[in-house]
Structure 1
Amino acid sequence: MNPPNCAQALAAAQTLGLERLDAQLLLLHALGKPGDARAWLLAHDTDILQDRAAEDFRAMCLRRAAGEPVAYIVGHKEFFGLTLQVDARVLIPRPDTETLADWSLERLGASGMPPVPAVLDLGTGSGAIALAIAHSLQTEGRQAKVVAVDASADALEVARGNASRLGLALDFIQSHWLEKVSGHFHLIVSNPPYIASADPHLEALAYEPLSALAAGTDGLDDIRDIVRQAPGHLLSGGWLLLEHGYDQAEAVCALLAQAGFAQVQSRLDLAGIARCSGGLWVGA
């Protein structure tokens, strides 16, 4: 059987049930092209694939058809303008989480913040939020002491690798939330697990680590722990910012207010959903 051209390979992928965008990204990866080169495919749709590229593409398509996320197959994901290496040890960074990174940078740029603020990212996973903050501040000519925490040694290995590839200096701590963290911070930020343990949506996320997704019967167990522990590690005037589920803003804001946080508020993602909530710690 003769190797297909690009157009034929994409058509074959769609017969397996792949979305066209997924098929294009996988084909670009098989061809050694960057993920933003989709226009190249349109201009080379009659190019014949070499045998190895055709075999690799077919194998990747079968993995995607079985439900494995594209990011795990190609080994990387874009987040906040950074290319992060990801695999099944960490949650895949979502565009929605850029709302949390944006808000974090806004708080760090507000008046009253010191020249070198101390930032803590809880449940760092691939390091996405911590690295986005550190890179953005560095680009602005600013510095920060950024500490990334995760309970998983495997996740921290991924995050360290990403930090090294990006040339960013972060500190890493293996800890269940703040249990092994010392010191005080101007900003604590977290995208913790927030899906209810019986939520049917978890089935579609079976390839990603369950410990990074589910948090008790209502999805708020980990957020409760963070809100309870954070005041002991926040400087007066520091902020706690949390990502949460699409329908959890009211509950999370109530937890923050009950814990003594001021200026409790939420932020909308690009879809207009209250995706993050946070508050100011003014001291006990």
Structure 2
Amino acid sequence: MKKFRKEFLITLLIGLISASATCQITASSVSDTNSKIERKSKKKKRKKFKLPEIDLSHWSVTTPEVNEKGGATTIAPPEILNYAKDARLLPYMYNDSTSGALVFYSFPSEATTANTKYTRSELREQMVPGDNNTNWTFAQGGIMKGKLAMEEVSRDADGNYHKVIIMQIHGRLTNEQRDMIGQKDNNAPPVLKIYWDKGKIRVKTKTLKNISLNEPEILYKEAWDDDEGFKFEQEVGFGKFTLEVKVSDGKMVVVLNNSEYKVYENVHMRKWGVFENYFKAGNYFQTRDEGAFARVKFYELEVSH
């Protein structure tokens, strides 16, 4: 009997020790699992907030906001660097911290710029921050590359999406050229316009009406005409895509998604070398329809010379 009680007590003790160890292991396992879940949760929360990595120190921006003179509002460096807190810019240029994009919003307003009836929320390259007088020629060359997406755009009365110019190369007269032809400003035609057009990317450039022209006749806007345009095969729709524009002496190349290329290398590009130029990027909205609007997202944007 004594032997039976002794064996029973030993068995009971072993059982208690085993149960205690199992509880500790289970508790430890639960604790580890909870800790992992908490770490993952914190990691997810941290990932929710992204900011676009776009250096704005060499860009000014023009918006649909009417300024005190009745024209479009333009903000240059260093003020543009405070865009996230600038009340003048907040409706038109703001961060989407979920996707990590810089959003440009535009709609038809009375805030138009010279030589156009359309409004824009668009960046203008400034090689010297705050100065529009320092620009580049095709001989000097330049590259602009961006990753972007059409976030939202309205439709016309026929149900077609409105067009938006998302990138440009704009020509500019030097002060000497301006005075030579008696023009009141330094504006020259845009040699490149890249459109988001019904979910596809369309490119337009300029051609000389008479290829034998030289200065000063070649400096007049009337000397140039629009080409017939070119549309890339790929449909980008509302998804992300990349665009790259590469300019060199007498040559311009537009690249979509590193896979489709349009090359301009002809007499018109060589003759364009007479002008200075600057890059533009953003949302240059191409309609005056009432109630129309567009939002364009830029995830990346960089320029080099």
TM above 0.5, one fold? no
**Which has the larger share of strand?**
2
**Which has the larger share of helix?**
1
Q: Computing the radius of gyration over CA atoms, which structure comes out larger, 1 or 2?
A: 2
TM-score by length of 2: 0.27
